[in-house]
Amino acid sequence: MNPATRSPLTWAVHLSVLLLVALWTLPTAGLLISSLRDKDQLAVSGWWTALSTSTQNIVARAPGADTQVERDGKFVISGDVLEGTSAGEVSAFGFSSQKPTAFKPGETAELNDGEKLTVQADGSFEIVSDTKMEGSRGQRIFFTAAVPPRFTFDNYVEVLSAEGIGASFINSLTVAIPSTIIPILIAAFAAYALAWMPFPGRAILIAVVVGLLVVPLQMSLIPLLKLYNGVGAFFGVPAKTYVGIWLAHTGFGLPLAIYLLRNYMAGLPREIMESARVDGASDFDIFVKIILPLSFPALASFAIFQFLWTWNDLLVAIVFLGAGQDELVLTGRLVNLLGSRGGNWEILTASAFITIVVPLIVFFSLQRYLVRGLLAGSVKGG
C-alpha cells in the first residue's frame, strides 16, 4: 500500500472525495429524481424538495352542480379535495384566488352567492346551499396541504410506450455497434502499420493523423452529403444509408482511434513480434493472433469512447441517416417526443436517463480494461 495512505489525513481524503463525488453526481441525481416526479410539480418546486414533505397551495374543483344531493332541504355537493393527490392534511383553505388561505380546516366559508363551504382537515368538503345550485363547472377550492414525497414511473412509461421507441432503439444499436467496431478494426490495422511496419513516409502519416484530430465535424457535413448524393445517384442507391453513417462515424472517429491505438501498440514489446516472426507468422498473422489480443485494453477503451459518442450523437445521424420512422435513432426519437415546441421536462428527464442506460452498461462491462488500456502498457516477460 501507499505509505501516504496511513497519514492521519485519511479521513480528509475520504471527505474530499465524498465532496467531489457529491458535486459530480448531484446534477445527475437531480435529473434522476426529477424524472421520477410528477410532471406538474417539476416546474414549480426544486427536485431536492421532492424528498421532503412540502406545503403546497393546491387548487381543486368541486364536482359540478349535477352531483348535488338534497339533504334536509338543503342542496349539498360533497367530495374530497385530496382525492387524486397524495397530499396528507389540509391546513387552510379558501374559495377565491385572492385569498386562498383565508380559512382554517373545519371553518365554514361563506361563498359569494350564499353557499357555504366547509373543508375538513382530512380533505372532505361540503358545499351547502339553500337553493338548487347551477352551472356545469364546480366551485374552485383553494387549499394548503402538506404533500408527502410522491414518485411515479409515469414519465418513464410515457417515454417507453411512445410509438417507435423500440425501433429507434434498434436503429441506434444498428448505428452505434458497427460505427464502433468498424473504425476500431480499420484503425487497428492502420495503427499496427504505423507502429510496427517500416515504410517510407511513416512519420509524416503519423503527423497527419494527429493533425486531423482537430477538424471540426460540422464543417464536413455538407461536402460529405454532396459526395454521398453523387455516389448514391451514380449507383442508383439512396444517399442516406446505414453504410453511409457507419462510414461517416468511422471517418470522424479514426484519428483518435489511430492515435490511441498506435501509441498503445508501439509500447508492446518488440521481442514478442520478433519471436512470432521467427515462428513464421506473417504480418497478418502477427496482427490477428498477437497484436489484437494484446491490444484488447486499448481497443476496449476506444470502444467506450466511440460508443458513447455514436450512441449520443444526433447531428451525424440526422444528416447522414435521415429522420424517417425507420431510421430515426433513439436520441432523435426522444427529442421528437418533446413536441414541436419542445420543453416537456418530464419527458426530457426520463428520456435522458433511458439513453444513459446502454452507455452505462457498456461502460461497466468494459471499465476494467479502460484504466489499463490507456497506459502505454508493457507486457514484459508475461
Instruction: Looking at residues 331 to 350 of the shown chain, list those that interact with another protein (rule: CB under 8 A).
Output: 331-332, 334-345, 348-349
Residue 31 cell numbers, joined: 435529473
Residue type, 287: F
Q: Nearest approach, Cβ of 78 to another protein (angstroms)?
A: 21
Q: Nearest approach, Cβ of 136 to another protein (angstroms)?
A: 8
Contact 38, 150 (CB under 8 A): yes
Site mask for another protein (CB under 8 A), range 363-382, x = bound = xx--x--xxxxxx---xxxx
Is 176 strand, coil or helix?
helix
Q: Quick one: 121 or 338, whose CB is closer to another protein?
A: 338
Per-residue HEC secondary structure of 263-275 comes to HHHHCCCHHHHHH
Q: If we measure between CA atoms, which residue out of 255, 252, 261, 254 comes closest to residue 192?
A: 261
Q: Is 151 in the site for another protein (CB under 8 A)?
A: no
Residue 97 cell numbers, joined: 384566488
Among 79, 129, 353, 366, contact with another protein (rule: CB under 8 A): 353
Q: Which stretch binds another protein (CB under 8 A): 73-81, 103-111, 118-126, 269-277?
A: 269-277
Among 53, 86, 108, 325, contact with another protein (rule: CB under 8 A): 325
Q: Quick one: 71 or 202, whose CB is closer to another protein?
A: 202
Give CA–CA dist 145/90, Å, rounded: 4
Q: Is 220 in the site for another protein (CB under 8 A)?
A: yes
Instruction: Looking at residues 103 to 132 of the shown chain, list those that interact with another protein (rule: CB under 8 A).
Output: none
Give CA–CA dist 258/380, Å, rounded: 23
Q: Nearest approach, Cβ of 204 to another protein (angstroms)?
A: 9
Number of C-beta neighbours around residue 72 at 10 A: 6
Give CA–CA dist 329/342, Å, rounded: 18
Q: Is 280 in the site for another protein (CB under 8 A)?
A: yes
Contacts of 37 (CB under 8 A, 6+ apart): 47, 50, 150, 151, 152, 155, 346
Q: Quick one: 41 or 68, whose CB is closer to another protein?
A: 41
Instruction: Looking at residues 51 to 80 of the shown chain, list those that interact with another protein (rule: CB under 8 A).
Output: 57-59
Among 274, 298, 310, 366, contact with another protein (rule: CB under 8 A): 274
Among 90, 159, 209, 366, contact with another protein (rule: CB under 8 A): 209
Among 125, 142, 156, 264, contact with another protein (rule: CB under 8 A): 142
Among 62, 128, 248, 300, contact with another protein (rule: CB under 8 A): 248
Phi, psi of 371 (to 5 degrees): -65, -45
Contact 253, 184 (CB under 8 A): no
